Amino acid sequence: MAVSLRPLLLLLVAVALSAVSAARAEIAVVVNPESGVTEMTRDQVVNIYMGRYQGLPSGITAFPVDLVPLRQDFYSRLVDRTLAEINSYWARLIFSGRATPPRRLDDATAVLEVVSNNRGAIGYLPSGAVDDSRVTVVLELVDD
């Protein structure tokens, strides 16, 4: 009995997983509530995350952080590039001394912690993980 149920179970799990990935949540770009910024354009976020311009629209220095589990999804939505392309791009900026890559954080809690504690910090989170009392959403990236 157990033997015949196993394929069915696997199928159910597979269907459930594909449903989850099909309905991927939005990604929210967040800043510190004290940053003086309430919204940003995609170009402004691209400039910061691609190491071109380290400033928030309010004029203060921006310190971007990456959320490692969401990196692939974030850069694919933001600039339509793979992680290998992003790394190759950063290799140029790092080894020519032009810019420093975003600091990498492993989980959403750490992103919330860093962004809510630093005026110039900017990060991204799954929309569901945003805590409105601690960070301000300035842009939402929808899967296209």
Measured distance CA(104)–CA(109) in Å, rounded: 13
Q: What is the per-residue binding string for other proteins in 41-80, x denoting contact by CB under 8 A?
A: x-xx--x----xxxx---xxxxx-x--x-----------x
Q: Is 90 in the site for other proteins (CB under 8 A)?
A: yes
Q: Which amino acid is at 34?
A: E
* Minimal distance, residue 17 CB to other proteins, in Å: 22
Q: What is the per-residue binding string for other proteins in 2-41, x denoting contact by CB under 8 A?
A: ---------------------------------------x
Burial class (CB in 10 A: 0-12, 13-18, 19+), 89: middle
Q: Is 82 in the site for other proteins (CB under 8 A)?
A: yes
Q: Is 142 in the site for other proteins (CB under 8 A)?
A: no
Other CB atoms within 10 Å distance of the CB of residue 127: 15
Closer to other proteins by Cβ: residue 11 or 69: 69
Look-up of token digits 């492993």: 106
Burial class (CB in 10 A: 0-12, 13-18, 19+), 99: middle
Beta strands in 22-127 (DSSP E): 27-31, 63-67, 103-105, 121-126
Q: Is 89 in the site for other proteins (CB under 8 A)?
A: yes
- Contacting residues toward other proteins, per CB under 8 A: 41, 43-44, 47, 52-55, 59-63, 65, 68, 80-85, 87-92, 94-98, 100-101, 103-104, 106, 110, 113-114, 117-118, 120-121
